[in-house]
Amino acid sequence: MKKLLLASTSTVHGKPYLTYLFDALKIHFKGIDEILFIPYARPGGATHDEYTAVARKAFSQIGIKVKGIHEFDDPIKAIKEAKGFFTGGGNSFVLLNDLYKINALPALKKAILKGIPYFGTSAGSNVAGLSIKNTNDMPIVYPPSFDALGMIPFNINPHYLDPDPTSKHMGETRETRINEYQFFNKIPVIGIREGSWLEVKGNEIVLRGELTAKWFVTGEETIELKTNTKVS
């Protein structure tokens, strides 16, 4: 049974990296002593080693070892043998491009469908959706496709932000951008605010965390989803 924890952000304001998710992660990775970290999204241009060290330090606090996928000679074999996955945030284009470079998507999909727990934050959650077409990231590299893992039947907009009614900035709001997407695509999009996440167990998807989420469907009113309710 598929098991994913897809968080809007790794870090909420005022708390150290991942700590707000520790309780959920202990349950998500119960009985697992080592996970495979995918550092390809390279936040701030961090090297794979630097980024893996950050993830390793955080997971050491809940007794889980972390191996970086780049530490293996055969990354596909590493995916096949992994007991759990964590894909960190950063740039979704860079992440997806690197996943395509080593043809990681089929192996990752297969492992997740087999029940290997997957955890993603920000870009790492974004790539669990059907495509990265609702990322906020800058398209700094050109991936061979925007199609992603498709582990949920919709797309994720992480770090969802409500329009600021006092803003004098004329750039598009997040809501406008997602509505524009739906002129061209019939795929639902969930805007997840920082501090909330999706818990996926098989075909059941539940919103967790303290905040509501925005649910966008082509041609319908946008819905404010309550926490601890099913997403569909």
Decide if 170 contacts 117 (C-beta within 8 A). Answer: no
Options 122, 125, 131, 196, the catalytic residue: 122
Task: Determine if 138 is a binding residue for a second copy (CB under 8 A).
Answer: yes
| CA–CA separation, 116 and 197 (whole Å) | 18
Task: Determine if 9 is a binding residue for a second copy (CB under 8 A).
Answer: yes
How far are the Cα atoms of 108, 113, 128 from residue 102, in angstroms, in the given order? 11, 20, 17
Cα 137 to its chain centre, rounded Å, is: 13
Strand bridging mode 34-38 / 155-157:
unpaired
Helix axes 92-101, 105-114, angle to 10 degrees: 100
Options 10, 131, 137, 196, the catalytic residue: 137
According to DSSP, the residues that pair with 205 across neighbouring strands are: 200
| Residue 28 vs 193, nearer CB to a second copy | 193
Residue 137 annotated among the catalytic residues of the structure: yes
Residue 9 sits at the vertex; the CA angle it makes with 201 and 26, to the nearest 5 degrees, is 50
Shortest distance (Å) from residue 203 CB to a second copy: 27
Task: Determine if 126 is a binding residue for a second copy (CB under 8 A).
Answer: no
* Candidate ranges 78-86, 167-175, 200-208, 219-227; the one touching a second copy (CB under 8 A): 167-175
Task: Determine if 219 is a binding residue for a second copy (CB under 8 A).
Answer: no
Shortest distance (Å) from residue 11 CB to a second copy: 5
Residues forming contacts to a second copy in the complex (CB under 8 A) are 9-14, 42-45, 90-91, 93-94, 122, 132-142, 145-146, 158-159, 161, 168-172, 176-181, 183-185, 194
